[in-house]
Amino acid sequence: MNRMDEAAKKLKIDWETYKTLRSPRTSLAVTFPIRMDNGSVEIFTGYRVLYNYVRGPSKGGVRYHPEVNLEEITALAAIMTLKCAVAEVPFGGAKGGVACDPSKMSINELERLTRRYTYMIMPLLGPDKDIPAPDVNTNQQTMAWMMDTYSMLAGYTVPGVVTGKPFQLGGSKGRGYATGRGVAFVTSEMLQRLNMPLKGATVAIQGFGNVGSNTARFLHQEGCKIVGVTDISGGLLNEGGLDIPALLKHVEDEKKISGFKDGEFITDYRRANERLLKSDVDILIPAALENQITEENALDVRAKVIVEGANGPITGTADKILSKKGTTVVPDIIANSGGVIVSYFEWVQDVQAYLWTEDQVNQRLKELITSAFTGVWDAAQEHKTDMRQAAYMEAVGKVVEVTRLRGIFP
């Protein structure tokens, strides 16, 4: 919220118009029972927050994690609002989640959880209202269950109610790689502006899930040297560069980086993350959870450029420390917007019942995210500020302008 407020002040936006952006429009908390495989009944709590939808249907992921709470979901929904605006995607922002530990649940328990959660938030959902997508610990299968549950209750198939679903159910080609591909596009654009060569640049990536692994895939293809990665099982470090194609195959088979024989492996993931965040590299890409770089470790960060693959990986205080150090930060609302951009493409294909080729999807992603990045870069130069504030200024300005045009009902 402080970053939004600062952006509004910098733009000299009228307070009466701006303050409508400071609170979520709709917040829903639900509790529901699920029968577990052993016959017991557990009670789960879920959330769905539609932060703002003046620019179009609200859009945002659903995460399953033990620490999910309303405050976190609200903050992430606000970020989604800004992300859609800065990327010129005609959506508002939303987020959802269930407090649970999916690693301790069977596939059948997860299906029952997903279907009941979908039913509980059903009044908010719809292809013209609110459109969920995958997030932390959710995937294509989760979206397939959500789409099917909504469709069964509606009485007909509604593929446009979610994005990030399997291609056979109306998903888009290229969607699974989209966020990582977008991070790679933005990284390339940033290095061009800084007159740093992409080929041979050293990269450390925190988190090797969908975003981190695909970012590694595409940056490696561009000639970058990936010298360190971490996930929940630990960390891999190799100053000579990791064999990324082989690592991707290992993770596909084993679902974790541990056991891969290349470089130094650190079994304690906390110590591995600590080592990785302090790596002397050209580019650091935090692609795990929020609040990973804080005032406690920001001074130890040695990377020249940080590209935020995750949402909110740098705290506000750490941001200021990094700015004073001269570290260039590409903020999440532009850096990882590839996912929501291709989700928009998926939604367009669903409502038109017309599928695009993967080349069309990738080319349009590159055009849209590069244009958005250029707009943020130009705003940073014009207002003599950093990329974070410039991105927030671009986003806040666009949402406030639409709010002004629509007016206040009644």
What pLDDT sits at residue 35? 98
Residue 340: phi and psi, rounded to 5, are -75, -30
Please tell me the total count of domains within the chain: 2
* DSSP labels, 320-369: HHHHHHT-EEE-HHHHTTHHHHHHHHHHHHHHHT-PPPHHHHHHHHHHHH
Whether a cis peptide bond, with omega within 30° of 0, leads into 33 is no
Task: Specify the 3-state DSSP secondary structure of 47.
Answer: strand
Residues 126 and 187 in one domain: no
Percent of the chain with pLDDT over 70: 100
Mean pLDDT of the region 103-111: 97
Residues 182 and 248 in one domain: yes
Tokens of 9: 């002040």
CATH of residue 243's domain is 3.40.50.720
Residues 131 and 231 in one domain: no
Tokens of 144: 């397939």
Is 270's pLDDT higher than 70? Answer: yes
Domain end point (choices 281, 296, 330): 330
389 confidence band (pLDDT: 50, 70, 90): very high
Residue 192 maps to a domain: yes
Mean pLDDT rounded to a whole number for the chain: 95
371 confidence band (pLDDT: 50, 70, 90): very high
pTM (2 d.p.):
0.92
d(CA 173, CA 277): 33
Residue 24: phi and psi, rounded to 5, are -70, 145
Closest C-alpha among 117, 50, 114, 115 to residue 77: 50
DSSP conformation class of 172? P
User: What pLDDT digit, counting tens, does each position of 38-79 carry?
Assistant: 999 999 999 999 999 999 999 999 999 999 999 999 999 999
Strand order in the sheet with 58-65: 26-35, 41-52, 92-99, 58-65, 130-134
Residue 34: phi and psi, rounded to 5, are -130, 130
Domain end point (choices 158, 188, 219): 158
d(CA 382, CA 290): 29
Residues 198 and 138 in one domain: no
Tokens of 65: 């994690």
Looking only at Cα atoms, what is the longest distance across the chain? 64
Q: Could you tell me the sign of the dihedral formed by the alpha carbons of 349, 352, 357, 361, in that order?
A: negative
Residue 251 maps to a domain: yes
The neighbour count for residue 75, using CB atoms within 10 Å, is: 18
User: What pLDDT digit, counting tens, does each position of 162-175 carry?
Assistant: 999 999 999 999 99
Q: Where does 256-307 have alpha helices with state H?
A: 269-277
Residues 131 and 246 in one domain: no
d(CA 209, CA 122): 29
What pLDDT sits at residue 303? 97
Residues 146 and 262 in one domain: no
Residues 187 and 311 in one domain: yes
| 253 CB-near residues (< 8 Å, 6+ apart) | none
The catalytic site residues sit at 95
Residues 41 and 107 in one domain: yes
What pLDDT sits at residue 275? 94
What pLDDT sits at residue 1? 66
Containing structural domain, residue 239: 178-330
Domain end point (choices 330, 357, 388): 330
| 126 CB-near residues (< 8 Å, 6+ apart) | 57, 158, 161
User: What pLDDT digit, counting tens, does each position of 186-203 carry?
Assistant: 999 999 999 999 999 999
289 confidence band (pLDDT: 50, 70, 90): confident
Residues 112 and 202 in one domain: no
> Do 163 and 343 form a contact (C-beta atoms < 8 A)?
yes
| 47 CB-near residues (< 8 Å, 6+ apart) | 27, 28, 29, 30, 68, 69, 70, 73, 95, 96, 97, 98
Q: Could you tell me the sign of the dihedral formed by the alpha carbons of 60, 62, 67, 71, in that order?
A: positive
Residues 141 and 219 in one domain: no
| 336 CB-near residues (< 8 Å, 6+ apart) | 83, 179, 182, 183, 211, 287, 308, 309, 310, 311
Residues 210 and 281 in one domain: yes
CATH of residue 98's domain is 3.40.50.10860
Residues 187 and 321 in one domain: yes
d(CA 78, CA 4): 10
> Do 362 and 111 form a contact (C-beta atoms < 8 A)?
no
